[in-house]
Each structure stands twice: as structure tokens, then as C-alpha cells.
Amino acid sequence: MIEAIDWDTTFRPAILALLNGEAFNIYNPPWVLFPLIPFAVMGSEGRVMMLLFGLLSFLLAIKSLGAGKLGTVAVLLSPFVYESLAWGNVEWLALLGVAATPTIGILLLMIKPQMTFGLILLKLIARKDRARVAILVAAVTLLSFMFFGFWPLKTLSYNQFVGSEVNLALFPWAIPAGIILLFIGLRFKKQWAALAASPLFMHVLTPNSWAGIFVAMSKFTRVSVLGSVVMWLIVLSRYL
């Protein structure tokens, strides 16, 4: 069984608390818990199923961005995707929003806004029915405030990890690249660019969130292969 720190200490306890009508403590929007309920109640078998669903979701996101076979394999084998799945986090669920319909897609992307906010903007701007989509998303968000309180305050408390060893943000040096990619994404309606831009603006970014950039760049085969190999060499060098 793959170790799942985030799942065992955060998401599964939160889901069980939700089912028992108790308070829970997560940094994500509360609706992240509902699609995870089947995995939580199944126990160890649910963890295996979540791993399989996670791989499938990453695959769907990658394919939606037009990646070839080699680029797909390179990204799925990259250390950040592995770490996301190993920790039992929910990047895979957020990135499923790449392939989903607009309203559901935005709600999924909002699960990890530090990894996806550029693509959220693009999905709104690119739609002719953007007003309807925005109203539906706003309605779900307001309902979540009614039932679960003003949870964005908890999300903002993520700033406590600024000085942590798990903070791999490149802030502020990555901001110029982020601006360029965001411009390309919004101006030319390129999903990969809008997705890749998002983490580059963040001053707090855990290793898992870098999986979003790898998925975003998956259509560029050489970049994906080189990036995966280089990152694995960096990871392995820490143990040599």
C-alpha cells in the first residue's frame, strides 16, 4: 500500500467527520469531500480505488490537452504526479476539471486554485454563456458558505507554510514567466498556457501542485520527457 499522508491525516478524517455531522478541517472548498466519500467508507480498498481513479483523472486531463503517447507516459511517471498520488492528495480531482463541462469543471478546478486559477479565468472568458456559468458557480459557493461557514479564511491560512521545507514556490522570480503564459492562455485561448501560468504566481506551493505544470506541458513531448528525467535525477540525488 502506497503511503498516503494527506489522505490519512486530512481528507479521510474530514469525510468521516462530515458523515457524522461534525466539524472538519481542510484548506480546500468543502465540496471536495463529496466525490471522495466512496473511497473513505471503503477503507483500504477505497485507497486502492482512489489511486486508480487518480491515475485515470490525470490521464484524462493530459489527453484533453492534446498530449501524445510519450508525453503522456513522461508526465504520469514524473515525480510530482507520483508524489501527489502517494500522499493521497486531490490534485487529480482538481485537474479532472480540465476535461469536464464548464460549470462542473470550474468547481473542480477551484479545489486547487493555486494550481488552476488561470484556467478558471479562461473557462469563464472563453464561454459565450459565461454569465450563466459564473452565476451557477457563485450559487454553489454561497450555499457552501451557508452550510460550512466562510471557509476561504482557512484556505488563506495556508500562508503558514511560507517558510516550510515543503514550499517549492519560485516566487517572485517566476512571475514574469507566469504573466507571459497567462497572456498566451487568455489571449489565444490556450488551456495549457493558462494552467501552466497559475502556480508561477504563488508564494506558497507544495510539491504536489507542480503536477499541474507537468500536466499543462504534456503536449510538448520533449519538454515533458526532459522535465521528468531531470526532476527524478534531482529527487534521487537527495538519497545518494
- Residues 208-229 have pLDDT tens digits of 999 999 999 999 999 999 999 9
- Whether the pLDDT of residue 63 is over 90: the answer is yes
CA distance 193 to 170: 17
Structural domain span for residue 64:
5-150+165-237
> Which among 208, 227, 209 is positioned nearest to 217, based on CA atoms?
227
Look at residue 176 and tell me if it is in a domain.
yes
Instruction: Map residue 126 onto helix, strand or coil.
Output: coil
Asked if residue 156 belongs to a domain, the reply is: no
Give the per-residue pLDDT at 2: 55
The residues, any chain, with a CB within 8 Å of residue 172's CB and separated by 6 or more, are 203
Q: Helices (H) and strands (E) in the chain — how many of each?
A: 15, 0
Q: How many CB atoms lie within 10 A of CB 49?
A: 13
Give mean pLDDT, residues 37-53: 93
In a domain, 201, yes or no: yes
Q: Is residue 157 included in any domain, yes or no? A: no
The confidence score (pLDDT) of residue 160 equals: 79
Residue range 52-80: mean pLDDT, rounded: 96
State pTM to two decimals.
Answer: 0.94
d(CA 24, CA 14): 5
Region of 43 please: left (phi>0), alpha (psi -120 to 50) or beta: left
Q: Is residue 218 part of a domain?
A: yes
134 in any annotated domain:
yes
- At residue 26, the 3 state secondary structure works out as coil
How many domains does one find in the chain? 1
With a CB cutoff of 8 Å and minimum separation 6, the contacts of 228 are 74, 75, 77, 78, 79, 214
The pLDDT assigned to 1 comes to: 47
Query: Looking at residue 238, what is its pLDDT?
Result: 78
Determine, yes or no, domain membership for 122. Answer: yes
Q: Are 213 and 84 in contact (CB under 8 A)?
A: no
State yes or no: cis peptide before 172, omega within 30 of 0.
Answer: yes
Cell numbers describing residue 29:
472548498
What's the confidence (pLDDT) of residue 3? Answer: 66
Give, as one character, the DSSP assignment of residue 77: T
pLDDT digits (tens, 9 = 90+) for 15-36: 999 999 999 999 999 999 999 9
**155 within some domain:** no
Longest dimension (CA), the chain: 54
C-alpha grid cell for residue 144? 457552501
